[in-house]
Amino acid sequence: MKYIPLVVVALALGTAACNNAADKIKAEDERIDLTQTVSNEEVAEIVFTQETHDFGDIVEGEKPEHLFSFKNTSKVPLVITSATGSCGCTVPEWPRNPIAPGETGEIKVSFDSSTRSGRQDKQVTIEANTNPRTTVIKITSNVLPKTAS
């Protein structure tokens, strides 16, 4: 007889726990799947006026630079999170602030031709809130040996 009140309390708690679990499952079923509600309008779009640049013939040791111009053609701000050169000789500089819809920006790419010779094909990978997430711009050059003076 001592155990009857204990059993009644246990059953009451068990029933409440089951009801709470059922309510939780129902609430989870009613949640919105956010991956299905994201539209292309929420993704920025970056459009470059040119995606490649050829420096032509340069002399070893020169450090030419080129500005790649782009426009945010979307309805949301464009955020560039990184720009990475394919090697240490290719250094990009990019805007750190968001680019508003319809606005333009530039990425400056510097190429250090020291200790390089011949045909050079380098790239810069840009990571942003775009689809696809990365965009690649390229530079090329023909590095001529430095002549002794």
Enumerate residue ranges in the chain where pLDDT < 50. Answer: 6-9, 11, 13, 15-39
Q: What is the pLDDT of residue 34?
A: 32
Token duo for residue 4: 């009857």
Q: What is the pLDDT of residue 38?
A: 38
Q: Which fold has domain 40-144?
A: Immunoglobulin-like (2.60.40)
Concatenated DSSP letters of the chain: -THHHHHHHHHHHHHHHHHHHHHHHHHHHHS--HHHH--GGGSB-EEES-SEEEEEEEETT---EEEEEEEE-SSS-B-EEEEEESSTTEEEE---SPBPTT-EEEEEEEE--TT--EEEEEEEEEEESBSSSEEEEEEEEEEEPPPP-
Q: What is the pLDDT of residue 2?
A: 56
- Is the overall model pTM greater than 0.75, yes or no? no
Q: What is the pLDDT of residue 13?
A: 47
Token duo for residue 138: 């390229």
**CA contacts within 13 A on the Cβ side of 101:** 7
- Among 95, 72, 71, 86, which Cα is nearest to 116's? 86
Token duo for residue 25: 């499952």
